[in-house]
A and B are shown apart, each in its own frame.
Chain A
Amino acid sequence: MKKSIFRVLSVLIAVVMFAGALAACKPAEVDPAEVAAALPREETLYYAGLQWGSVVGWNPYSSNNNNALAVAQGANARIVMFETPYMYNMIDGKQYPLLADGDYTWNDAMTELTFTLKDAAKWSDGTKVTAEDVAYTFDTHIKYETSTGVGVADYVEDVVAVDEKTVTVKAKLNDAGQAVNPLVVSAYVSDNYVIQKAWTETLEERVAGDAEAFKADPGDDAIGSGPYMPFYDDDTKVVLIRNDKYWGKDKSMWGMLPAPKYLAHTIYADNNAGFLALKAGEVDISQQFNSNVQDLWLVDNLPISTYLDDAPYGLTASLPTAYFNLKSFGLDNVAVRKAIAMAVDYDTIIANAMTNQSPTFNQVPRSVMNPTDGEQALYDHAAVADLQWAGNDVEGANKLLDDAGIVDTDGDGYRDIDGTKLSYNAVCPNGWSDWQAAIEIVAAAGEKIGIEITTYFPEWSVYQTVFTDGNQEEYDIFMVWSNGAGPTNPWGRVRQLMSSDFAGTTGNWNGNWGGYVNPRIDEIIAEIPQTTDQAKLVELYTEATEIYLTDVPSFTLMYRPDQFYTVNESVWTDFPAATDGRNIPPMNLADGYGVAGLYYLTLVGD
């Protein structure tokens, strides 16, 4: 009995130990016949940081695909499988033609936008992309009330096929006969995919007109016009394969095929797993916040780089912002708001929470603009210079409060208004690490100016039900993201920061979460989309900035990229970089004009 147990035991242990030792050595040369089931490394571009969790579907009408590599519409639409008429380039703010042939034109009244489609444009099944496809896509979005349809219904009246190749986008008109918002109309042509009519009809037939089923259909058979098609997906990865008949190799577009045969995205469990893979050369391009990313080349000497060589390492385009709840006691007082905003040590937020992956407020002074050149040119820097603050100004903040008569009357160390202590919570979702670190530093600032600020990190699912409720009184100072770069910004961002349309609304995902009301800013928000004169625009944006910095309804804590961008040149090289003069934005080689990067990639050593 005993003997046999021990014999079995020792054999088992020996096997496991031996196996473990074997595993520690490099695997032996692999038989070429077996490679078929693997993606050749030299033909595959690996991503990280886009896709979390397994793919649900490929249906471009659905907003529930969880398929970030293939389906993502918006200001910088991801155009590897489906394509938009135009590609937005966040560097210069221009829209470049993709399916469209040349620039679009507005009619004189700015109510109709017209463009033609390229003759070469074809679907992956070989049929031509027609104006009817574009029109039918819009009609379908409206008919089935997709999130796209619902989003544009207030601004776009109709999309019509004038002839086989010509499309007109008609704006919704206001009472004065003007387009409600020409900005949203022009954004329509770069935000939204063109979807094949024939496939759409197949789908409609399959679901027998049921809107729910239509939007929930996984759409595995979806047909796109882009350079890649679905190849493989499971719980651990998603892979696209190049369509070698892609129409874009025509001279009228790229004139060639994109370099990688496969685009693959391993599904990592968390940031660290993706970070390790990037370090190991298993990832070519990473859209993750990798803290202290510079250590990868400075310390580890790996062939890894970011868009810019030095801090802030990337193009930042959005403004994570802390909103003041104007219903909270004392926060209706602008002196309190401004004092808190002035006392915060933004340099520490940027150095510690963001590990320097954001410009400082000395480098890019605060306004309603993101740090891109295009937006920075839209306001008069000198006119608002006196209003901008760089932070950590405890003395100034204390003086501001003292002058406003807000002092500590009962000697408890905290300032009071009418005998009530100023005490707030500062809130952001749990697990959003860089924000949490930033909020901690905001709280520390309160201590220095005699205002009690405690931090609170609820779970995201709780957080988002509270902050979207315009009547909530639970959160006093809370963080929300901002619009990044896109054809409707910075107008969209001004609206998001201050429009009274959103004040006090429930289920508010749009903006002005603190409940700020100012009739003048509403006039400006209404006027900007109708303004085409550059000087007038600058004047309006400058005034908006003045109002924002004077009334401080919220304050920006840092700048953040739309998409983080770190590349590993172990296999591929010639990724877009700031210095290459190609004007390609660091957008995953897939989003908006960022897709152009796929055509410049080469293999290391070639």
Chain B
Amino acid sequence: MKHILHEAFRSPKFVTGFVIFMAILALVVFYPLFVTDHPLAIIGQGTFFPPGIYVSVYDTTNAPQYTMMLPEAEGNRIGAKLGDVEREAMREWLIDFGIPRAEIDIDDTAKLMTLWDAYYDPALRFQGMTSARQKYFARLDASLEGLLVMEPRVIAVPNTETGAFEASQSIELTDFVNVNEVANVRVLPLGTDNFGRDMLTQLVSAIGTSLQIGLVAGTVATLIGLTLGLMAGYIGGLVDDVIMFFTNLFTAIPGIVLLILISYSIGQENRGAVTVAVVIGVTSWVWTTRAVRAQVISLRNRDHVNLSKLSGHSIFHIIFADILPYILSYVVMAFILQISSGILAEAGLSILGLGPKTTDVPTLGLMMRWAMIYSAHILNKWWAFFPVIVAIALISFSLNLMNTGLDQVFNPALRE
């Protein structure tokens, strides 16, 4: 055993897989120590806030203010509202309106704005202009409001007696606050999802759940597969025929269809994460059984087994002492593969809406499902689905790397 581990850690593939897997595991274990929010807490009113640092607008007005004269400030301010696309669009409108092209200088902001303010009329819709375009110009016009104004903004509070607004604070164009000094700042490295939940917190929690699902599904599938495979292979005869009959039956009705039917049948209320894991395990033992059986058949007539038989050892003794150790390496590898396919199966089921029920715990599949329902992939909200796919791929990649590494340890012929 020690030797195998020693060998395994000399295989670069195994080590890489192991490191990735441990890193994921560490994230799952340690992240909740630092961020204690409930992973399913709804923090945002609105959907899909992009990743970034969110600073309380209210609290910035209370934070200490610094004055900085940055030469690029005005350019940035105007550029944020009035980019090249907007300038081109304004020229297009003005030309349609009848201003000669030569008179429009889109690089001179002040001149352009003067022209625009003088002629723009939201009610006009020129020949060939769609109403969507007309609305675009109206929005553009509204966003340009006060763009060139250099006066400070005034914050007003209503007088409690008269209800009239009274100026309380004036914000200069050169005022800055230090983010560190604002009372409320929230970092959302992966933004929020469609429910307004913190994606990263949810993702970490979901990875944990999905690992558990994989573990349970893998254990169930491997145990069933191993037991049936041993029985079929060693006992043979009628037992073999019957087991192979069920194996063929389960092969013939494909796992995914069976999985869908069972998941649908047990109903959403009963579909906790563990139940789904068990269902996945129960429907995916077939390949392990076949493989174990094949291995056992080839072992059955080896000399040491025959010797054991002659010495009158019980079946259990023979199986545990003379057969199991020889196929153990294979079983371990099958187990690792079952874990990763369990995680994939949960994700697949959830995508189809047949995964674990939603409010309990987040799983990778459920996160994917909600992102799809709210069309995150179509609306380019990459943070709502891409990290989930990467997480699934990484988990299963690391497991498979370890598996390949072990394969090379057990079968020296495969080594580079």
Within the complex, are A and B direct neighbours (CB within 8 Å)? Answer: yes
- A interface list, Cβ under 8 A from B: 271-272, 275-276, 279, 290-292, 295, 297-299, 301-305, 309, 347-348, 351-352, 355-356, 430-431, 433, 436-437, 440-441, 443-444, 454-459, 462, 569, 573-575, 577, 604-606
List residues of chain A with CB within 8 A of the CB of B146.
none
Tell whether A291 pairs with B135 under 8 Å between CB atoms, given A433-B374, A441-B42, A454-B359.
Answer: no
Cβ–Cβ < 8 Å partners of B136 in chain A? 297, 301
Q: Min CB distance, B88 to chain A, in Å?
A: 12
A392 to chain B, nearest CB (A): 10
Judge whether A437 and B131 touch: CB under 8 Å: no
B46 part of interface (Cβ distance < 8 Å)? yes
Q: In the complex, are the beta carbons of B135 and A309 less than 8 A apart?
A: yes
Pair B268/A292 contact, Cβ less than 8 Å: no
- Distance to closest chain A CB from B125 (angstroms): 10
Question: Looking across the interface, which residue of chain B has its beta carbon closest to that of A580?
Answer: B131
By the criterion CB–CB under 8 Å, are A430 and B131 in contact? no
CB proximity to A under 8 Å, residues B42-67: 42, 44-48
Is there an interface contact between A444 and B130, defined as CB atoms closer than 8 Å?
no
In the complex, whether B195 has a CB less than 8 A from a CB of chain A is yes
Residue of B nearest to A349 (CB): B45
Contacts of B374 in A (CB 8 A): 291-292, 355, 433
* Interface of chain A, main secondary structure: mixed
Contact across chains for B359 and A569 when beta carbons are under 8 A apart? no
Contact of A272 among B195, B269, B372 (CB under 8 A): B372
Q: Do residues B269 and A304 form an inter-chain contact, with CB atoms below 8 A? A: no
A305 pairs with B132, CB closer than 8 A: yes
A459 to B353, CA, bound (A): 10
Q: Which of A355, A458, A577 is the one whose CB lies under 8 Å from B269?
A: A458
CB 8 Å contact bits of B187-204 with A (1 = contact, 0 = none): 000000011100000000
Q: Is the CB of A275 within 8 A of B130?
A: no
Q: Which residue of B42, B132, B264, B269 has the most chain A CB atoms within 10 A of its CB atom?
A: B132
Cβ of B380 within 8 Å of any chain A Cβ, yes or no, is yes
Shortest Cβ distance from A29 into chain B, in angstroms? 25
On whether A291 and B194 interact (CB within 8 A), knowing A272-B375, A431-B353, the answer reads yes
Asked whether, in the complex, the Cβ of A433 is within 8 Å of the Cβ of B373, the reply is yes
B-chain residues with CB within 8 Å of residue A441 when the two chains form the complex: 42
Contact B196 A348 (CB under 8 A): yes
Set of chain A residues within 8 Å of B370, measured between Cβ atoms? 433
B267 to A459, Cβ gap below 8 A?
Answer: yes
**Alpha-carbon gap, A454 to B357, bound state (A):** 11
- Give the distance in Å from the alpha carbon of A347 to the alpha carbon of B44 in the complex: 11
Whole-angstrom CA separation of A309 from B358 in the bound complex:
34
A351 contacts B45, CB within 8 Å? yes
Give 17 A-B contacts (CB < 8 Å), ordered by A residue.
A275-B378, A299-B379, A302-B132, A309-B138, A351-B45, A351-B46, A351-B196, A433-B370, A433-B373, A440-B195, A440-B359, A454-B359, A456-B268, A456-B269, A458-B267, A459-B267, A573-B131
Interface residues of B in 356-381 (CB under 8 A from A): 357-359, 370, 372-375, 377-380
Confirm or deny: B10 has a beta carbon within 8 angstroms of a beta carbon on chain A.
no
Let me know if B128 is at the binding interface, CB within 8 A.
yes
A453 to B47, CA, bound (A): 24
Produce 1/0 per residue, B77-117, CB < 8 A to A.
00000000100000000000000000000000000000000
Residues of B contacting A272 in the complex (Cβ-Cβ under 8 angstroms): 372, 375, 377-378
Q: Which residue of A lies closest to B352 (CB)?
A: A431
CA gap between A351 and B195 in the complex, in Å: 9
Cβ-based interface call for B133 (8 A):
yes
Interface string of B242-253 (1 = CB under 8 A from A): 000000000000
Q: Determine the distance from Cα of A431 to Cα of B359 in the docked complex, in whole angstroms.
A: 14
